[in-house]
Structure 1
């Protein structure tokens, strides 16, 4: 089965699970407060449904448009824009007849379920599979450091020991912590075994984003080509996937960063690359482009050992809660980048979400990605945009504080505006996916 199909199946299964549970988060409290739910749908049933069945007062079904799901609650101004029902006198079973605090609980139910699910999945993953990590003991060769970070005192071969005075179990977390957590100091051990605590700028995360240096600390990788980028110099030079780089202009190449440094220092200059393909040693000439790139991606063949840690039930609950908290906190922190010119171009839709899943089926990776998406959905749904749960929550809080309901006509217009905003965002995000698929090759 092709990687695309495997990713697509995982995406559909994950989103279906999250959508159904999210809508149950609205459905259950609605039923508890004796509010009638007219529809419960996975996906949208525009004009027709793939399946539907009425049980009691509720029609359960599956729509054909996979852009989410919904519950239609009687007496509520929502995306259905059922003006005829709203024109009738309020009925005891309707949403609008319930106290504001009950309506608030109903609206917060979906977000609450997504958050709880995300945290529980992180706990389950640690309890069932434990975690793999590479600490300083496993990374005996340390990191290859980006040139822009050497100005602070970091060196190739550095081992990361501590972040802000706290030991770092998994050295591979250093880039994410720098980007998202406002790190002040990093303690490293240089190749000469000297330990140094280096201060980094307060705005280091923003600098990394603006400069495009998202991973200043990279593990040393063997120079084995994993893929070739279309239209780049490597194609013309005849390099192929699986080729192992031996030398460049007579200098031996042991690790990928050495090749990367060499090409960046020799932009648009002819270079002689010696490589091994199967049992044969061959050579070719290649000229890096104006960015110093030849257009090859490296294999994930790391020359390090990987450590493993198992967790007791109590430990998995504690550490899983921390994973959930930091996942939410990190996503909220990086959300500000969406409002920059560069960040807007990186917004993705279903293609980007599908790309988060692995090429081959792996339950641990599937549940980890599902936990991440669940927490992201919780945050996105609570944004104060009409038509989202967060928009309804804002209006309900206004009612609770002031004692006055917002005008129904205003609510209708707000719902329409919010709906069009959401449609525009969906089109934009998926348009970015299509653009990248066509041009970023």
Structure 2
């Protein structure tokens, strides 16, 4: 019985974790955020099954416990060093290189890739003078800004993995305001609460079985058989004491060992 309870607890915890992550996933998608992975199971080992639809990979991991959702992250977004250059981008065409540090754009100092993005996004089709620091020396290069996703496109970013560039900022968690970030974060526990409410409502609709002392089997030559008790009878009382469940039946029998007592039953 203890082992069964432990298994139920583990399964319940796994369900809570999965539903929690599902909340992040659903709200993230609803807000148009970029989500790279959504898996059933712990994020360890190779996937047993996976399929990519759009920008998101869905699948099942070997350890079927909980689940996880993965939002892309920026690497070192709060500095201005170039770590990735997109092929055939304005940045590559102008000669911008990895490890260059962007200092100014059109004379305006920039302190992070957030500053760079906010400066570039409104200047599609324009030529910008970008001051960089390369191998300890400052120089200025001219970049003809392109257009992508209805915003100015530089084609460079802080992510050395190449998985995401600064132009993707509007669809990442980093690019969201306080309200949207809060909605995504709160969605997880909100789904847990919703699951709990659904379980409670379901239990109320189904109803709880009342504990009863119903006879399943009568042993041959037993006092019960000799007294005429049959399988299916429900014991209502023993010696005038009500017996709503088997705990009360056992208690009354132990109190009246060796005595003849009246047993009131309900026969279906």
TM-score by length of 2: 0.43
- Answer 1 or 2: higher relative contact order, Cα 8 Å, separation at least 6: 1
TM-score by length of 1: 0.28
- Structure number with greater Rg is 2
- Larger % of helix: which? 1
